[in-house]
Amino acid sequence: MRVSIKKCFVISLLVVSTIILVAIGIWKNNTGIIKTTINENAETKPDKTYIVQDGKKYKRKSYVKAILVLGIDSNVDMHYTQDAGSGGQADSIGLIAWDTANNRLDMIMIPRDTMTQIPVTDVGGNIIGKTLQHITMAYAFGDGNEISGEFMKEAVSELFEGLSIDQYLSVNTSAIKSINDAIGGVELVIPYEGMEKVDASFVKGEKVLLKGDMAEKFLRYRDTDSDFSAMTRIEAHKVYLAAYQKKLRQFKGDSLVEKILKEISPYYYTDMQKDMILKLAACAMADESFNEDRMYVLEGENKKTEIYDEFYMDKDMAMNKIIDLFYAEE
């Protein structure tokens, strides 16, 4: 059976990068002109402060922030503007529910093949409407940094009935090794069979310390000859994230995050301010109860087409989770 390693950055590293990034300023010195604009004829779903579900009215909890984290399948400097369609795809997508009142983090993991309405642009980069498409493609229609991030915020908001997305952080593939090795590697148990095809030590049930290129192999692996392999890979991401966060709690102070920030600075882009990142990092490092149970993978139906896998989420189940995390009954 042919096995390939898709060039994508996994959702687990996305959350980890959110946890550890303490910014001393986000460089947005783009050398090109962002050509993507908003067409007046394009409709966008308004953000919802209130939502009605099963006859009950709910109000958005202002103290719970929605932070979108994105793994981009490219390895270029993310601060240079790309032409629409060439900035990579959001291969890993996660939505953090950051409860600032109770210092708690939860996460909704969104499969890359989730089908939803995303912005569509013409050849000039102008938004001309929306179409039902894989959510991963929303990033590709932007400029590879700022506009792509905004497109993803819009697509995720659309997916969750107008939920306002507060901020986003995108990270690309080049950051994997630095983030992993900064804490001395990550020890975990190999979750399923087949991974030994990319590293002989990756035997199901065996405990392995991931260092150097091993982390990249573990996090990128999926068997593309198997249907819906991206869904299977999410389980490995959960294992990695839980193990990373557990070890991360051993570290204190800013020296670790400053080191990582310096190493990966060309490979992330965000609209988060420094003070917000500092507070989020402090919350994540102190959250001793964070585990795999706090990482919710969207449930729904997988469908196979002649070319692509497609995932259609169960809207009722998804919205019940969204309401539980982000809303309170009136």
Among 186, 190, 193, CA closest to 209: 186
Q: What CATH number is given to the structural domain containing 103?
A: 3.40.630.190
For the chain, give the percent of residues with pLDDT over 90: 47
Q: Evaluate the CA torsion angle 107, 111, 117, 119 in order and state its sign.
A: positive
pTM of the model: 0.82
Tell me, yes or no, whether 243 lies in a domain: no
SS3 state of residue 166: coil
- CA dist 282 and 213 (Å) reads 28
Q: Any idea which residue has 């919205």 for tokens? A: 319
Residues 6+ apart with CB under 8 A from 61: 326, 327, 328
When mean pLDDT is compared over 115-119, 186-190, 246-250, the highest value belongs to 186-190
Strands (E), 88-142: 90-99, 104-110, 115-121, 127-134
Q: Any idea which residue has 């093949």 for tokens? A: 113
Task: Tell me the two tokens of residue 14.
Answer: 């996305």
| Comparison of pLDDT for 303 and 253, the residue scoring more | 303
Tell me, yes or no, whether 232 lies in a domain: no
- CA dist 14 and 176 (Å) reads 9
Strands 309-313 and 90-99: unpaired
Strands 4-5 and 221-222: antiparallel
- Cβ atoms of 227 and 302 within 8 Å: the answer is yes
Tell me, yes or no, whether 208 lies in a domain: no
Q: Any idea which residue has 């959250």 for tokens? A: 287
pLDDT of residue 180: 92
SS3 state of residue 329: strand
pLDDT of residue 134: 94
Residue 265 main-chain phi, psi, to 5 deg: -55, -35
Inform me whether the pLDDT recorded for 203 exceeds 80.
yes
Inform me whether the pLDDT recorded for 30 exceeds 90.
no
- CA dist 36 and 15 (Å) reads 28
State which residues form the domain around 117: 7-175+248-329
Among 21, 13, 14, CA closest to 274: 21
**For residues 30-54, average pLDDT:** 55
Q: Any idea which residue has 């497109």 for tokens? A: 151
**For residues 261-290, average pLDDT:** 84
Tell me, yes or no, whether 323 lies in a domain: yes
- CA dist 258 and 23 (Å) reads 8
**For residues 283-288, average pLDDT:** 85
At 14, is the pLDDT very low, low, confident or very high (cuts 50, 70, 90)?
very low
Task: Tell me the two tokens of residue 17.
Answer: 């990068």
Domain count, the chain: 1
- CA dist 304 and 314 (Å) reads 17
Tell me, yes or no, whether 222 lies in a domain: no
Q: Any idea which residue has 């409709």 for tokens? A: 43
